Amino acid sequence: MKIGLIGLGIMGKPMAKNMLKAKYSLMVHDLNRASVDEVVSCGAVSATAAEIGASCDVVLTMLPNSPHVKAVMLGEGGVAGCMKAGSVFIDMSSISPIASKEIAAVLAERGIQMLDAPVSGGEPKAINGTLAFMVGGPQEVFDTYKPLLETMGTSVVRCGEIGAGNTTKLANQVVVALNIAAVAEAFMLAKKADVDPQLVFEAIKGGLAGSTVMDAKAPMMIGGSFEPGFKIDLHIKDLGNALDTAHEVGSPLPLTAAVMEMMQTLKADGLGQKDHSSLAKYYEKLTGTAIG
């Protein structure tokens, strides 16, 4: 099986390396030449996007947002025009489920099947191959390519037909964003009441308030270290897609809208490239007090 991956960013690069470790034959493409060279040094083959489309049985993308995936696949000289009937497209990007359905409809006319398979876990889990995949698409296609996805993740769940993967990812991102905001708000309460946030964390992490999000982000808030595992800018993108989809289907997201405005404030303050745990800095701005 020949595999092509387009997109070697903070997530795509370690995911490519994990496919190579599993001995898959991999062609890669990215605008960042250094990233391509790094993955090629691990055993991949550098190729243009068109060459990947023409040569590979399955094409994977790991790109920033809906417009990027549409441009790569359906734009002028797009990959879809080079792919053979019977081949498969798996989009691992986090995009609008509406866009996923639009892309799948065009590909179906060309005899190409599709899975939308966004991931959760951030860079650390991309590196160690323990991502969670949320997948939408035909059952038989999912069954065929689940082992490929399992080289990059420990949880690979089919959530329904096309678009279901990205709908599930949006739900995931809503939960994560609200959880981070709640942790920051609670720790600021503790700090202002002269209780050590580190001790609060140790006391509550084993109870009902404990979560994977808290375990990952509380130490960053307390340590005042916000180098990105997942950037504010990317979470803004995901919450934008969540709000757009919610408006489309008639589902209210008032808490999500509030956290979106908090993130937009941080972006305006120049923190868009920092980790989403920087929501702590929103509260620090309001109070003039550092959590850490």
CATH of the domain at 121: 3.40.50.720
Q: What is the pLDDT of residue 253?
A: 98
Q: In this structure, are 139 and 187 located in the same domain?
A: no
**Is 236 part of a structural domain of the chain?**
yes
Q: In this structure, are 109 and 186 located in the same domain?
A: no
Distance CA 253, CA 198 (A): 31
Residues 172, 173, 178: CA angle, nearest 5 degrees: 105
Residue 258's φ and ψ, nearest 5 degrees, are -65, -45
**Domain final position from 126, 161, 196:** 161
- H helices of the chain, in order, are 12-21, 33-40, 49-55, 66-74, 97-109, 122-128, 139-149, 164-192, 197-204, 212-223, 232-249, 254-268, 279-287
Q: In this structure, are 72 and 38 located in the same domain?
A: yes
Mode of pairing for the β-strands spanning 131-136 and 2-6: unpaired
Q: Using an 8 Å Cβ cutoff, are 265 and 283 in contact?
A: no
**Domain final position from 161, 180, 213:** 161
**Number of domains the chain contains:** 2
**In angstroms, what CA-CA distances link 67 with 62, 96, 141, 142?**
13, 10, 25, 25
Binned average pLDDT, 10 residues per bin, the chain of 292 residues: 96 98 97 97 97 97 96 94 97 95 97 97 92 98 98 98 97 97 98 98 98 96 93 95 95 98 98 97 98 94
Q: CB-side exposure of 137: number of CA atoms within 13 Å?
A: 31
Distance CA 269, CA 276 (A): 14
Q: What is the pLDDT of residue 283?
A: 98
Q: In this structure, are 73 and 31 located in the same domain?
A: yes
**Domain final position from 117, 143, 161:** 161
Residue 110's φ and ψ, nearest 5 degrees, are -100, 5
Token pair recorded at residue 210: 């404990």
Q: Using an 8 Å Cβ cutoff, are 186 and 111 in contact?
A: no
Q: What is the pLDDT of residue 124?
A: 87
Q: In this structure, are 152 and 173 located in the same domain?
A: no
**Is 292 part of a structural domain of the chain?**
no
Q: What is the pLDDT of residue 287?
A: 98
Give me the active site residues, please. 169
Identity of residue 177 = A
Token pair recorded at residue 235: 């979470």
CATH of the domain at 178: 1.10.1040.10
Q: What is the pLDDT of residue 230?
A: 87
Domain that residue 89 falls in: 2-161
